Amino acid sequence: MKLISIVISMYNEESGIAFFSNNLIKELERIKNYNFEILWINDGSLDNTQLNIEKSCSAGKENVKHVFIQFSRNFGHEAAMLAGIDNSCGEAVICMDADGQHPPAEINEMLKAYEEEHEIVLMQRTDREDHGLIKSSMSKMFYTIINKLSVVKFQENASDFFLISQKIAELLKQDFRDSNRFLRGFIQEVGFNKKVLEYTAPKREFGESNYSFFKLMKMAFNVVFAFSNKPLRIVILISISFFLFTIAFGGYSLVQYFIADSIPSGYTSIIFFISLSFSLMFLVLTILSIYFEKTIKEIKRRPIYIVRKIEIQD
């Protein structure tokens, strides 16, 4: 039977991890003709997440193997998913979160799409039961902005709940080792046969979301600077526009001095000119500094994550 790897990212999920794992294993037992390995990635949790998941998975199931991977500290959700993919052995890999908002009941449909020779199966969130108008608007704005700036056009509301074939997993293991990561973007960038399935994200029953407004903003910046050079082109356009403005302003001053035989009133114009100059200059420096920072991180090639412990339970 085919082996399917399921990667679960966990961070401070002690209150709901047992409930989620029980639901997941029940769903996997219903799916015949497959063996499963579940890679539980503890992303430096500060609570009893590790203890609770090991207790919950202590009873072995015939077609399910558990792999527990603990990080030395918190490296982030993207690093946790990548660690699971790196250690996966299955013919296909499914990534999902442990917060209960990626329904295990959808796994069977994902596998059907995979058997139809789709090497990438994206799960598109059509509704979220605990999302209000503000969060929904923020999500829509996020995808609008990055699709305007990025070369890669992302599937709107595609989540970190997805399936990839072993071929895609090997690409992520070997080639996509960026320090500035966006996995759901990487898997849409590589091409191959893709299918999009829709699902409704249930309300989070346990714990609180680890994604604050500022974390979402940080992720948006990471995506833009990882997949687009348009900010650099915008800087060039700003520089050209400012150069033309400077020439026009200088020409006007010369005309007033030599032809109109009058000195233009200078205080307001000079203050405006200096303020605009410094504002644009600092904008240019900010954009260049962000690209420079990202480049330095890539050059350093520091580890994406550090594993403290790996345990395998058959």
pLDDT tens digits for 248-258? Answer: 776 766 676 66
In this predicted structure, the answer to whether residue 238 has a pLDDT above a threshold of 70 is yes
Q: At what angle do helices 267-300 and 213-227 cross, to 10 degrees?
A: 80
Residues 229-243 have a mean pLDDT of 73
In this predicted structure, the answer to whether residue 160 has a pLDDT above a threshold of 90 is no
> Which pLDDT score, from 0 to 100, does residue 111 have?
93
Domain boundaries, the chain: 2-210+303-313, 230-300
In this predicted structure, the answer to whether residue 267 has a pLDDT above a threshold of 60 is no
- Quick one: CA dihedral 97, 196, 166, 171, positive or negative? negative
> Using CA atoms, how far apart are residues 147 and 186, in angstroms rounded to an integer?
14
> Which pLDDT score, from 0 to 100, does residue 9 have?
92
Query: What is the percent of the chain with per-residue pLDDT over 90, rounded to a whole number?
Result: 17
The phi and psi torsions of 122 (rounded to 5 degrees) equal: -95, 135
> Using CA atoms, how far apart are residues 282 and 45, in angstroms rounded to an integer?
39
Query: Per CATH, which fold does 2-210+303-313 belong to?
Result: Spore Coat Polysaccharide Biosynthesis Protein SpsA; Chain A (3.90.550)
> Which pLDDT score, from 0 to 100, does residue 263 have?
56
- The confidence band for 84, taking pLDDT boundaries of 50, 70 and 90, is very high
In this predicted structure, the answer to whether residue 131 has a pLDDT above a threshold of 60 is no
The better pLDDT of the pair 250, 104 is held by 104
> Which pLDDT score, from 0 to 100, does residue 37 have?
93
> Which pLDDT score, from 0 to 100, does residue 71 have?
93
Read off the tokens for 299. Answer: 């050059």
The closest alpha carbon to 71, from 40, 102, 38, belongs to: 40
> Using CA atoms, how far apart are residues 170 and 168, in angstroms rounded to an integer?
5
Residues 6+ apart with CB under 8 A from 137: none
DSSP 104: G
CA 217, distance to chain mean position in Å, is 11
In this predicted structure, the answer to whether residue 212 has a pLDDT above a threshold of 60 is no
The CA-based dihedral angle spanning residues 217, 219, 220, 223, taken in that order and rounded to the nearest 10 degrees:
160
